[in-house]
Structure 1
C-alpha cells in the first residue's frame, strides 16, 4: 500500500529552479487524487535554508540532504542519497524535472530501483487510482501514453515550462527534516561550474523566445533579434544551422540536439523548420514564423506566419512593440 507521492527538486546556485515548483505542483495533483501526502527531496549545498519554499507549492514534508560535497550534481553522490530515501518509503509515484541533470538522475534512479521511467512527460493524469503519463516520441512526431504494470513504481520526469505551476502560497508551511548524509567515495568530481553572468533569460524557462536561423546570414545580424528580445523580455535562441555557422553559442541552440523549450510564445525568424528544430520547440503554446519563403516547412507548424524579409519586418515590429510599451 502506497504511503506517499515523491517530488524531487533541483537546486542550483543557491536557489530552486522554477521547474522544481512545476514538478511539485503536478505531484500535488496526483497526491490529492490518491489522498496521499507529498514528500519532497532536496539535495544540495545550502538547500536547507530554502527547503521551506517547496511547501508553498504543495509539498507536505521536505527531506533535506545538505552537504558541501553536494554543491554540484555528481551522479555517484546524488543517486545513492536520493535512492536511499525513496527505498525507505512505498511511494505511489516519483516526480522529478526533465532538465539536463534531472534526465541523468532519473535514468540512474530507475535502474537502481528497478522500475520504469517515463522521460520528458508533458501531461500526467490519475484516473481511478491509475497513473498515466504522456510523452513525445520519435522527435515529437508522435505522443505516447505510458502506464505501469501492477507493482511497478511510476517514475516520471516532467518537461520544464509545460506543467501548470500553482501560485505560491507562503502561508502553507512544509515540515523540513534534515537527513544524515553518508556519501560514498566518488570516482569523479565537479571541478567547477561556468555560469552565464550576462543576465540572459534561460531558454528552458523563458516565457518568450526569439530564435534565428540560417536566414540571419551573419552573427552580427542577431543584434536585431537581441533588440526585439529586450523589448519583449524574451530569450534569444538559434537553430542548429546558426550554431554550426558559429553565429551563436551551443547554449542557445534549440532542437533535438540542443535544448527542448516550451515557451508561451516562440518567434522563429529565418528558420526553415527542419524536423530537428521542430522537435525542440513544437510544443510551444503559440508559434510565430517570419520567413520570406512561403513554402518554408515552419509555416505548417506556426500559428501565425509572416511572409516577409526579416530585415525589414523585425526592426519595424520591434519599433511597434516599443511604441505599445510606451503607451501602457
Structure 2
C-alpha cells in the first residue's frame, strides 16, 4: 500500500461511533474518514452537521464498494461478530469496538478467520491509553510501590433508572471488557476467577452491578467493580504494593473532552493532559505525595492501526488479547451464576 491516506469507514453512528471513533479517525494523521454506515435519519443529520461531506451508506457492502481500505465497527455488541466476519470476507482491515464479541469461542473463530484471510484485525481497547492507567503502569515499572500485591479498579456510575445500555450486553461485558483488559495488560494472565453480579428482570436479564476478583498467574490479585447504581463511587484505582499505595479518583478526561466537541486535531499537545487537581497520590500511611498523571493517548490508536495496515508494525491491540479477556468474562459469568471459583487452564 502507498503512503497515501488510509481510507477509513465507520459502521454505526450511535454514542460510540459519534464520540469515540469518528473524531479520532478524522484526527489521525495518514487517515481519512470517508463514509459512515447508518440508516437512521437523525444520525445522518448529526453526521452532516459534525463532519460535513462525509458520505453515508446503508450497508457495509455498500461502504466497501465505495473503496475504503479499513472499517471500524461501533454497533450493538450482538452485531459485532457478523459484521466482523463480513468485513473480513470483503478484505477490509477491521477494528471492532469492545466487547469484541459476546463470548470467547466466537472471538476465537473470528480471529482465526482474519488470520487465514490475511486481514489486519484489532479490538478497540482504547482505555489501555487512559491517563491514569498509564500512570499506574509507570509506577509499577519504576517499582515505586514495591512489588504489587493488589490492584483495585472501578467503573462506577449512578444511573438507576436507565441501567446499562441494551447494546452493550450488560455491565459485565460493557465495563468488564475494559477492566479485565487493563488488569491483564498490567499483570498478565489469570488463573482463578470469582464473581458476583446483580441481574435485573426489568432489563431483560442484563446485569447492572458486578464484582470480579482475579488471581493472576504471577500472584497479583485484582478486584474489579462495575456499576450503574453506585451512589458513592470508590477510587478509580487503588494499587497496593509492599512499600506504598497509589490512589486516584475520577475518570480519565478524554471521554468528556470528546463529548464536549474537542478533538486531538484541535487540542494538539494539550490533548489528554489532566489538570493538577485531578492527579493521584502515592500514600504510605500518613505520608501522601501527589504524582503527576501521564498524558492520555487515545489519539495513538488509529495512527498505529493505519501503520499496521501498511505493514509497518503490529496492530495496537492484539485480538488474541480480547479472546483471553473474554475467557475471563465467560468464567466470571459462570462463577456468578454457580457461586464458585472458576479455575482457568
Question: What is the TM-score of this pair, normalised by structure 1?
Answer: 0.35
Question: What is the TM-score of this pair, normalised by structure 2?
Answer: 0.34
Bigger radius of gyration: 1
The structure that is helix-richer by fraction is: 2
Higher relative contact order (CA 8 A, sep 6+): 2
